[in-house]
A = this chain, B = another copy of it.
Amino acid sequence: MVQEDLSYKDKKVISIGTVSELTGLSDRQIRYYEERHLLTPHRTSRGTRKYSFSDVERLMEIADKREDGVQTAEILKEMKRKEERQDRDLRKKMLQGQLNAHFRYGRK
């Protein structure tokens, strides 16, 4: 159930026109942010871009930062830092989970 919901969030199914409406950004801006590696839409066999709800959220964050005058290069760095932080946290949690499983083994 939670799994399913997460998969919806990351499923790339929204075309650029709809993303434009959801975010208030122009097609041009959305494609440009891709050019600057701020996001990576899926490409269909025919070449059209497909975005996920996560991509839409990311674009809204980008829009906020751009409004504050932050350049795309800077936004990219911030995103990388955030991802590293999350990766570390995730690894820590998985390790903790393994330890818990180990010490609990055979007790119940």
Contact = CB atoms under 8 A, between A and B. Distances in A.
A2 B9 CA distance: 12
Interface residues of A: mostly helix, strand, loop or mixed?
Answer: helix
Interface stretch (A14-22, A24-32, A76-84, A91-99): A14-22
Interface residues of A, number: 13
Interface string A50-71: 1001000000000000000000
Given A13-B13, A18-B50, 16 more contacts: A2-B2, A2-B5, A5-B5, A5-B6, A5-B8, A5-B9, A8-B8, A8-B9, A8-B53, A11-B53, A13-B14, A13-B18, A13-B22, A14-B14, A15-B15, A15-B18
